[in-house]
Amino acid sequence: MYAAIAILAVAGIAVSSVSLYHHFSKSKTSFCNLGQSFDCDLVNRSQYSTFHKVPVALLGMFGYLLVLSLATVYREKAETPFILGAAVLGGLGFALYLTYLEGFVLHAWCLLCLSSLAIISAITVLTVTNAFKALKT
């Protein structure tokens, strides 16, 4: 289970890295511009793309790095399933909030953001399953 979580965390780091690159890019790109409804540039450069002046994509990278370290280096510790659970639930909550902003405030979707939401959702399912298994033993 931890191997799958680690692989998904690496995918999350990759998606967040691409998003961070486009956040700081000076020119408008069209890699994710599929009309008014799907525009990564609009989302990635909006006022909601930072949290206390830190790019959300960078926060995502750090979050996925934390998940990766817990799923690899610290996986043998008894408390890891619960620490990991708290971390990913926090990450999922933040991702859902950002998705709300995309849909109901910005009225535009970012494929990178939606990919990250799918990744953190899958990690959450695996982590919660793992935590329940740890409770039974």
Q: What is the pLDDT along the chain (137 residues), one digit of tens a residue?
A: 999 999 999 999 999 999 999 888 877 766 677 777 888 888 988 999 999 999 999 999 999 999 999 999 999 998 999 999 999 999 999 999 999 999 999 999 999 999 999 999 999 999 999 999 888 87
Angle (nearest 5°) at CA 51 between 10 and 32: 55
Tell me, what's the pLDDT at 27? 73
Tell me, what's the pLDDT at 34? 77
The residue whose two tokens read 């930072």 is 50
Give the CATH number of domain 2-136; options: 2.40.30.10, 1.20.1440.130, 3.40.50.1000, 3.40.30.120. Answer: 1.20.1440.130
The residue whose two tokens read 């799923």 is 71
Tell me, what's the pLDDT at 35? 74
Tell me, what's the pLDDT at 136? 85
Angle (nearest 5°) at CA 22 between 19 and 27: 165
Distance CA 33, CA 110 (A): 9
- In the chain, where are the structural domains located? 2-136
Angle (nearest 5°) at CA 111 between 110 and 116: 100
